[in-house]
Amino acid sequence: MSETHLREQICLLAKSMFDRGLTGGSTGNISARTEDGGLLVSPTGTSFGRLEPARLSRFDASGNQVGGDNPTKEMPLHSAFYDTRSTAGAVVHLHSCHSVALSMLPGVDEDNFLPPLTPYGIMKLGKVKLLPFFLPGDPKMGEAVRGLAGKRTAVMLAQHGPVVAAKDIEAACNAIEELEDTARLAHLTWGLHPRALSAAQVQALVTKFDVEWTA
């Protein structure tokens, strides 16, 4: 994909998520690999609803900023995924309400944050790790991701928001939307004892779709 097209796609997908209320105000950040091994990153303090292709932060393959506005303060979080997951072509971080609310509830499994309610939650995300609360912009968020040694495609920052890495920008956006949808389903069925997928059904999905499923 040409860099021009990638810049346009980043802004288009970000606006789509903003318009549907998946992140608001100037929250959230997004990045994607360029063909030359560099990065395009949403600038600090910008809204997903008003990103401009020409103003995206541009980094070369050595990690030096070579163009655009100053990047998001969550760069350590993005870098941690790129450095530990060779397959990562894009990273998205949102402040989506249902997933944040779910992170506050007692009894949530820190190692497997999302309940197994739908097949696509399993297929697109694998196990989502719930990380503790960090101050926004704290480099320790990146350190926590590095501590997972590339074994997770998605994490949930407690009381903050989800972060997902995927092979390209479209896949990352689709996956993080699936995360938020699953969190919303968890809220809708909370206390109602919903029929979740069985362990055998989860394993069948993991096997058939070659899902990364860390023990």
Q: Which of 3, 82, 120, 170 is catalytic?
A: 120
Q: Which of 3, 8, 52, 74 is catalytic?
A: 74
For residues 209 and 207, what is the distance between their CA atoms, to the nearest angstrom?
6
According to DSSP, residue 128 is labeled P
82 belongs to the catalytic site: no
The count of other CB atoms within 10 Å of the CB of residue 154 is: 24
Nearest to 125 by CA among 7, 206, 44: 206
Handedness of CA 129, 130, 136, 142 (dihedral sign): negative
Chain centroid to Cα 46, Å, comes to 18
120 belongs to the catalytic site: yes
The catalytic residues are 74, 120
